[in-house]
């Protein structure tokens, strides 16, 4: 193999695929990046057997070939090369990759590409086209609510449902539920459900970055228990999570006694201030919702937190309140995290009682809702 590539493009591709490298694998090849020529382009791939990422880049291919090289060594080398043309030349007899750029020359010992696990190829014709910008926003508004506890694998994933021209994503860690719905460009022929690891979706949103133009194609290879997301120069494959996702719809309240409309930015700022005190304890913040008494006295939301070690905090937020007054406690970190992904200027906080879930939804947007469980008021 002998190819010529741009250093900046190579560094970009390496930084993307290296996120899938297994740092503590018993298989040495899983600590490597696959470098392979592919139809006049250079292909880089990495996998930990649960998540696989492939990136293609333009290259001048003089000789075809493939090799795997240690990810950390190759990443550190490429990122420190000058912004010039890079020559990659493989010695097949010794599995050594010669890297030349400017005045530097490095030889890296690799492992035969035949030992690298096969990465599934998607059937694009059978895939579901998705708007990249919409899908990225869905991931950002849902995946953060998934659990980090591997003891309940199903809760570490995001439930994805397709039905007709409708897509729904939901995630829960047992203390909160985030649900986002949207329309898709082309209706699916049959309903489909899958639980995708939240980490895989977060990684996908990260590698999409600011490039939100175009289409993302999602495919589910038959009988493989996998999902593949394909773009022009990127591909991410992930194992699906087996199991039954909780019936989250049964937990979503249908009616509320108190409806509180607040500025998203104002409430977020108040939560951040309260969290400074609350994080030293159990993240409890009390929300005292006070309805309007007359035209001259608008409603208010008082957020208070206290910690024996740190002190107390009280923040008042202007609000439009319909219904009965209420004192309820929520995890203030959970409040902050959902408000950080709300795009609307104003947000509804809808509640019933101190011991029932609250619902947060953007004003004027029926596609996104977030349910948060109450905490005990001591």
> Which residues lie below 8 Å from residue 2, measured CB to CB, with a gap of 6+?
61, 62, 63, 65, 87, 88, 89, 90
**Confidence at residue 223, expressed as pLDDT on a 0 to 100 scale:** 81
Is the domain covering 254-372 a CATH 3.90.110.10 domain?
no
Question: Residue 351: is its pLDDT beyond 90?
Answer: yes
Q: Which CATH number applies to 2-115: 3.40.50.2000, 1.20.210.10, 3.10.150.10, 3.40.50.300?
A: 3.10.150.10
Arithmetic mean of pLDDT over the chain: 94
- Please give the class, per CATH, of domain 124-248: alpha beta
Do the first three CATH levels of 2-115 and 124-248 match, i.e. the same topology?
yes
Which residue(s) pair with 329 in the sheet?
Answer: 286, 375
- CA atoms within a 13 Å half-sphere pointing along the CA-CB vector of 355: 1
Report the pLDDT value the prediction gives residue 296, as an integer from 0 to 100.
61
pLDDT for the residue 87: 97
Whether this prediction's pTM lies above 0.75 is answered by yes
Each residue's pLDDT tens digit, 174-213:
999 999 999 998 999 999 999 999 999 999 999 987 666 7
Range 92-113 average pLDDT: 96
Counting Cβ atoms within 10 Å, is residue 249 exposed (0-12), middle (13-18) or buried (19+)? exposed
What burial letters (b/e) apply to 156-171, b meaning 16+ CB within 10 Å?
A: bbbbbebeeeebbbbb
Q: pLDDT per residue over 46-85, tens digit each?
A: 999 999 999 999 999 999 999 999 999 999 999 999 999 9
Supply the pLDDT for residue 286: 96
Cβ burial of 232 (10 Å; 0-12, 13-18, 19+) is exposed
For the chain, domain boundaries: 2-115, 124-248, 254-372
* pLDDT tens digit sequence for 98-107: 999 999 999 9
The Cα–Cα gap between 85 and 262 comes to 54
């Amino acid at each position: 193999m002998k190819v010529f590539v741009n250093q900046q493009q190579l560094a970009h591709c390496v930084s993307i695929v290296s996120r899938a490298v297994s740092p503590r694998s018993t298989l040495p090849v899983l600590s490597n990046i696959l470098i392979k020529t592919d139809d006049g382009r250079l292909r880089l791939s990495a996998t930990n057997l649960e998540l696989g990422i492939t990136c293609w880049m333009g290259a001048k291919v003089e000789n075809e070939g493939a090799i795997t090289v240690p990810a950390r060594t190759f990443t550190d080398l490429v990122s420190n090369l000058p912004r010039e043309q890079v020559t990659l030349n493989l010695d097949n007899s010794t599995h050594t990759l010669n890297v030349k750029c400017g005045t530097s020359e490095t030889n890296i010992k690799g492992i035969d590409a035949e030992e690298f696990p096969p990465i599934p190829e998607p059937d694009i014709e059978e895939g579901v086209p998705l708007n990249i910008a919409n899908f990225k926003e869905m991931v950002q508004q849902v995946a953060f609510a998934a659990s980090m506890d591997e003891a309940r694998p199903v809760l570490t994933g995001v439930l994805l449902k397709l039905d007709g021209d409708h897509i729904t994503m939901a995630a829960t860690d047992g203390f909160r539920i985030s649900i986002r719905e949207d329309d898709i460009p082309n209706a699916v022929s049959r309903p489909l459900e899958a639980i995708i690891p939240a980490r895989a979706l977060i990684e996908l949103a990260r590698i999409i970055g600011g490039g939100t133009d175009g289409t993302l194609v999602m495919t589910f290879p038959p009988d493989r228990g996998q999902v593949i997301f394909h773009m022009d120069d990127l591909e991410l494959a992930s194992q699906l999570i087996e199991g039954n996702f909780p019936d989250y719809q049964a937990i979503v309240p249908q009616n509320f006694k108190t409806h509180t409309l607040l500025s998203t930015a104002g409430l977020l700022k108040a939560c951040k201030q309260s969290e400074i005190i609350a994080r030293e304890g159990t993240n409890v913040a009390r929300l005292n919702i006070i309805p309007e008494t007359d035209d001259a006295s608008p409603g208010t939301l008082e957020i208070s937190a206290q910690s024996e070690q740190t002190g107390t905090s009280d923040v008042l937020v202007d609000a439009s309140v319909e219904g009965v007054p209420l004192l309820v406690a929520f995890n203030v970190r959970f409040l902050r995290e959902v408000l950080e992904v709300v795009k609307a200027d104003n947000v509804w906080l809808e509640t019933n009682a101190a011991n029932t879930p609250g619902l947060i939804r953007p004003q004027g947007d029926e596609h996104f809702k977030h349910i948060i469980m109450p905490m005990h008021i001591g």
